[in-house]
Structure 1
Amino acid sequence: MDNPWNTHYHYFDQKKHPPAATLRNAIALSQKLQINPQNRLAVDLGCGNGVDTFALLQDKWNVLAIDKQNEALLRIKENTPDTYKQQLQLRLNSFENIDTLPDSQLINATFSLPFCHPDHFDTLWAIIISSITEKGIFSGHFFGTNDAWSSNPEMTFHTEKQIKTMFNRFDLIHCKEIEKQGKTISGKEKYWHVFHIVAQKK
């Protein structure tokens, strides 16, 4: 049976989707901070099809792209122009097995963190928090408890109160909670409950 993520990557290859709005907002915020180019390290957690990774490379970030699917990393490696290859590191790892991250000025997690097993989420989040430097930025998404997938015991879901507690060491630059009926990549109907976050560490 084909890996369902292959279908996901193929879909995005065909659609040429732009980077996530949360990441675009985070990049705009980082540009105002005038970070020293030598210190511009971003981590793309669950980098998937690489759209966000490429956006960061184009903005002159050094990027550590992490994914548990080797197929994803191979696609990024193959599709990265030579101009950007020295800026890029690739790491094959699942969220559950991440035990450290480098000091980073930006951590991006577009629709990926909900797929961390709940038994490991708190540990992963503590690692993320500690690796973001002072004034550093987080951009990403979390699924709310009303999401149609919330009965999946392998995934992690949050309430608004939990989200605010998680970001108590940050200024929430953008925090939008959206609930709506929609579709998955495969076209199936689904009720979405998603928190869209951009935050800056105090």
Structure 2
Amino acid sequence: MRDDEPEAGTGSESTDDTDDADDSPNDVSEPSYRTLEDERERGRAETISATKSEWDRWVEYQPDDDAVRYVASKGPSSDVDPDEYDQEPPDRDLEFTTTPWDRWKHIRANDVAGKAAVEVVTEALDVDSVSRPIAVGREPANRRTVVRVETVVDGDGNIIDGEPIDIDELAAVTPESVDVTYKLDERTYETTRAVFAEYRKTRLE
């Protein structure tokens, strides 16, 4: 424990007598992270192509509404796996909703582009710490395709997780863009997604 780190349980008040109980919430704190470095550059490697037909059996295009029907939640039976159904599932297990095709196509295109870019960068660097953050706070049409490599260090600067990399090296193996073709039933969407390389270094507090 660092000298400036408070003891577990201090800094918060409790109105019951469970301080000594096992698994007391007062004895557990979520780890926090401080960003030390955050660099981003446009990918500079050759543009790649990715074509994908819809892979979710419960996603359906509805031409009358130009919308997409999909599973929003699994309802009361949260342990139900849609892929285990041999026929239409009961309504109580899967809850469906719809969204306009013009929104759905961006969601899937972003997904296809991100997975393809991560695969290329992972193979080029031969590391497992490549991810693709998703800006869920933005509308799908405005989300960037980002390939991230992250390093986590402790208070002394020792690496806990990930591998450090120079942003120029990361950008050099990151595709400049991904030409995406996404197909759902009779609809096809083609787009080009720019790809950005991101290196982030955080410290576990």
TM-score range, shorter chain: under 0.3
Comparing both chains, which one has the higher relative contact order based on Cα–Cα distances under 8 Å and sequence gaps of 6 or more? 2
- Greater per-residue helix proportion: 1
- Greater per-residue strand proportion: 2
For normalisation by structure 1, the TM-score amounts to 0.23
**Greater C-alpha Rg:** 2
For normalisation by structure 2, the TM-score amounts to 0.23
